[in-house]
Amino acid sequence: MNTILVCSSTSNGNTRQVADALAEVLDARILSPAQATPTELAQADRIGFGSGIYWLAFAPELITCVNSLPDMSGRDAFVFATSGFPQPPFRPYLRNFTKLLTDKGFRATGTFSCRGLDTMGPFKLLGGVNKAHPTIDDLSAAQAFGRNMVSKAP
């Protein structure tokens, strides 16, 4: 299955580390949202979309990328993210982004998230939180997530 990862990793490189770990097990190409044109994505059977979480939302450029896509029926999609804190129940950003994908016709196949260095807002004054993340264990978990998708592929 041909896989492309669309990754926005702008602050500390956390999400890019996860994308690199996923790419290794999925034999995937990594594109920025600007590179992820409909023509490029038409070459893939499975597309992973990932970013850091900023103020309880995915990166605006990733949302714009998905919103600009035509109908993507027939393709699998999954979501990956890094964040400083767990997803709060009042703002389910993983579910909301997955819905954005299914509204474009994608078959949602899963989500992966882990902690990442967070230097947003007041945390910058403290040097950030979750300074050691993503850890080796986080990246191993991302690879296990990727292997699980490979084993479930038709």
Return the pLDDT at 112: 96
Give the per-residue pLDDT at 119.
56
**What are the pLDDT tens digits along the chain (154 aa)?**
899 999 998 776 788 999 999 999 999 999 999 999 999 999 999 999 999 888 888 999 999 999 999 999 989 999 999 987 677 678 888 999 999 999 999 999 999 998 776 656 555 555 555 566 688 999 999 999 999 988 877 6
Q: Cβ–Cβ contacts within 10 Å for residue 39, how many?
A: 7
Fold entry, domain 3-152: Rossmann fold (3.40.50)
Q: Of 54, 24, 49, nearest to 146 (Cα)?
A: 24
pLDDT at 118: 65
Q: Looking at residue 122, what is its pLDDT?
A: 58
Residue-level pLDDT at 154: 64
CA distance 63 to 36: 12
Global pTM reads 0.89
Domain residue ranges of the chain, discontinuous segments joined by +: 3-152
Q: What is the pLDDT of residue 128?
A: 57
d(CA 131, CA 148): 28
What pLDDT score does 53 carry? Answer: 87
Whole-number Å distance between alpha carbons of 99 and 115: 22
